[in-house]
Amino acid sequence: MSTTTHAKTILITGASAGIGRDTAIRLAERGHRIIATARRREKLEALASEHAGITAVPLDVTDASSIARARTSVLELTDGYGVDAIINNAGYGQIGPLELIDDEALRRQFDTNVFGLMAVTRAFLPEMRERGHGRVVNISSLGGRIAFPLMGAYTATKFALEALSDSLRLELRPFGVRVVLIEPGVIRTEFADTAINSTSTLGQGSVYQPALERLEQLNAQMHRTAVSTRTVTRAIQAAIERRRPRARYVAPVFAGLGVGLLRRLPTALTDWLMRSFAGLTPKRLVHATSGQARLTDRAASAERRAA
């Protein structure tokens, strides 16, 4: 497990909270120069003021002009050197049944998690390639290995990221640039809560509402048993500092075992397990929907009597 500990200049997207923030702090404490980027300028500036070795640079990964400005700022900060590593962490989760997610919402999900990530990578890659060394660390998810119900939009972006990262790894290796995927499991951050809260109205009153309510319950249960971000930041540190990092790091390791098992089961059995776990069974949905219909009918009758 050979590591290199000389200080690197590292750009991190989505560094204002969660895994991105904790990674910035961890790597800065190890002596690396961190360029922390995100859309939320106030949180970035607070992070930079509280921790030595961190510089805040505003960046919206979905805005080409913002990326261009960030590149200019980084080149000025580094006297034209650029960065030694990119950690593509910015992203969010669009939750909801695919039938109800419109084209605009689906495009936004891909704009941030896929197209924005690639735009940032292209912007900061040239100097690394020309020097003959560098790292691109992409924060994926175990959702990039197996799709989950009601998370189709999000997992689709992670499947895309897995493929893009595999291709990038092959294309950039001859130039000394290594590409590494980090695949977190259930981690104790605001990510899932934010995803569910931001899309909480999607599906309300629809046939999918019982399943979405079940998802909220599962999220609360998993949050209690989730591991801390330390597990992920440790893997990211290895991806940055090891001379020969692995192509993929699952964090925590045991989370990958369950996904690996599901991928080996017959599809019909995996589907049944997934549907049962998510509450997407005909009996549950029909019962809940008919119950809602009865409540609606009773309310309407009460209103008529009151009138």
Decide if pLDDT at 302 tops 60.
no
Express each pLDDT in 117-175 by its tens digit.
999 999 999 999 999 999 999 999 999 999 999 999 999 999 999 999 999 999 999 99
Strand partners, 54: 34
Higher pLDDT, 305 or 9: 9
Long-range contacts of 265-270 (CB under 8 A, 24+ apart): 270/146
Domain coordinates in residue numbering, the chain: 9-199+227-265
Tell me which residue has tokens 């939009």. 153
What pLDDT shows up at residue 274? Answer: 87
Residue 9 φ then ψ, to 5°: -95, 120
Express each pLDDT in 18-68 by its tens digit.
999 999 999 999 999 999 999 999 999 999 999 999 999 999 999 999 999
What pLDDT shows up at residue 202? Answer: 74
DSSP 3: B
Decide if pLDDT at 75 tops 50.
yes
Is position 81 annotated as part of the catalytic site? no
Reported confidence tier of residue 4, pLDDT bands at 50, 70, 90? low
**How far is residue 294's CA from residue 11's CA, in Å, rounded to a whole number?**
55
Q: Which of 92, 154, 208, 249 is catalytic?
A: 154
What pLDDT shows up at residue 223? Answer: 67
Would you identify the CATH topology of the domain 9-199+227-265?
A: Rossmann fold (3.40.50)
**Cut 0.95: pTM above it:** no
Decide if pLDDT at 17 tops 70.
yes
Reported confidence tier of residue 5, pLDDT bands at 50, 70, 90? low
User: What amino acid occupies position 57?
Assistant: V
Nearest to 9 by CA among 29, 34, 37: 34
**How far is residue 155's CA from residue 86's CA, in Å, rounded to a whole number?**
22
Percent of the chain scored above 90 by pLDDT?
A: 68
Express each pLDDT in 195-253 by its tens digit.
555 555 677 788 898 888 888 887 777 666 667 889 999 999 999 999 999 999 998 77
What pLDDT shows up at residue 192? Answer: 52
Residue 113 vs residues 141, 155, 232, 290: alpha-carbon distances, Å: 11, 10, 18, 38
Decide if pLDDT at 257 tops 60.
yes
**How far is residue 271's CA from residue 293's CA, in Å, rounded to a whole number?**
28
What pLDDT shows up at residue 294? Answer: 43
